[in-house]
Structures are given as structure tokens and as C-alpha cells.
Amino acid sequence: MATRDFLGHRKADQRDAPPMERSTDPRPRPAAPTDWSGIEAILLAAGLPAAGAREHLATFVVAAEADRVVATAGLELYGQSALLRSVAVDPAARGHGLGARLVEASLALARTRGTATVVLLTLDAADYFTRFGFARVSTDQVPDAVKSSTQFQGICPASAIAMLVRLA
Ligand SMILES: CC(C)(COP(=O)(O)OP(=O)(O)OC[C@H]1O[C@@H](n2cnc3c(N)ncnc32)[C@H](O)[C@@H]1OP(=O)(O)O)[C@@H](O)C(=O)NCCC(=O)NCCS
């Protein structure tokens, strides 16, 4: 029986045919340790902080063309709540729904982990995240566990907008 990754996709094995994917339509998959340098490059190119991300690589998703990471999104899990961070798409690959697929994959992962509340911080993409159900909140509405994350502890400027979606 085929094994599946945390997104519910069958893991490839030697009996599987090579994936037939359009280069502009790579499918989100769980990040692997070897993806880190690609993830870091995407984050830096997007002006997002990379600090603290590697520690949560096990709950990051990526989209890759050939072996090159072109988009990423990450979850930091804190019990019943989670921080969605590092949502970034290579500038050349934007506007094709890749960011949306990674956000949806991250929210699906959060659901499988029993997460009730997902929070994010953004400087200028608040309008983007409303399409996934996120709404702006004040910092005092953010669960304490998420406030302990590196992002809330000072990586992001004080001007960042906090947003929250309830999954349960
Ligand atoms: C935000 C981002 C992830 C979107 O990725 P993407 O793959 O281009 O987005 P999608 O293809 O899923 O969606 C495109 C739609 O989002 C809109 N959009 C893109 N960036 C936006 C932003 N910053 N604010 C509001 N809307 C935005 C586009 O106008 C487009 O709208 P349409 O569907 O009405 O045409 C990407 O622009 C990016 O990497 N930005 C820099 C990093 C960042 O700001 N990340 C968010 C904070 S963690």
C-alpha cells in the first residue's frame, strides 16, 4: 500500500511514473531538509525574515520546479494554535495561484494537527489573506502561545498587521 505525506499525497516510489506537471503548476509538497537553502533564498528575495524558520521545516510546504524551490509557506504549531509564516512565491511565478495552494495546504495541515486558530503577521499582504478567511485582530487577541514565537518576539516590525482564522 502506498504511503502518503502529511498533505495526503501518495509518496512517489519506483513504480510511480514521473510526475506530469506544468512548470507553472507545481504541486505543494512537504519541505525536505535539502529544500532549506531554496526556502531561505525565496524568503530573502521576498523581504521576509528567515530567522526561526528552519526549526519548523517539518511543517513547511514548498512548490518546486525541477529541484528549484519557487514557493513556500510554513506553520509553527503551538498546541491548539499555530502561526502561518513565510508565505512567499518567487516573483517570476506569482499570479498563478501558487501562493493560494500553499496557504490552503498549510491550513489543511493545521486541521490535521487539530489546530483551532491560525495567526499570521503581514506588512502589506493583509488583503491577500482575507480570501482564506483571515481577519485582522489586535495583538491582545492573539493566543499567548503564538505570541511566544520568534516573529512576535521582535523579528517583525511593530507595524505588522496580525490576522487570525478559526478552523474549529
Ligand atoms: C503574497 C504572495 C505570496 C501571493 O502569491 P501568488 O502566488 O502571486 O498569489 P496567487 O496567485 O495565489 O493570488 C494572486 C492574487 O493575489 C493578489 N495579491 C498578490 N499579492 C497581494 C498582496 N500583497 N496584497 C493583496 N493581494 C495580493 C493578486 O493581485 C491576485 O489577485 P486576483 O486573484 O484578484 O487576480 C506573493 O505575492 C509574495 O510572495 N509576496 C511577497 C511576500 C509576502 O508579502 N508574503 C505574505 C506575508 S507572509
What pLDDT is recorded for position 155? 58
Residue 75 belongs to domain spanning: 29-166
- Probe ligand 1: pick from 101, 106, 128, max atoms within 8 Å of CB? 128
In this structure, is residue 157 part of a structural domain? yes
pTM: 0.90
In this structure, is residue 4 part of a structural domain? no
- The rounded Å distance from CA 132 to ligand 1 centre is 12
What pLDDT is recorded for position 149? 87
Q: Which CATH number do you get for residue 74?
A: 3.40.630.30
In this structure, is residue 63 part of a structural domain? yes
What pLDDT is recorded for position 22? 44
In this structure, is residue 16 part of a structural domain? no
In this structure, is residue 2 part of a structural domain? no
Residues paired with residue 74 on neighbouring β-strands, in sequence order: 60, 85
In this structure, is residue 3 part of a structural domain? no
Minimum CA distance residue for ligand 1 atom 48: 87
Q: Which residues of the chain have pLDDT under 70?
A: 1-3, 10-24, 155-158
Residue 73 Cα: closest atom of ligand 1: 48
What pLDDT is recorded for position 168? 77
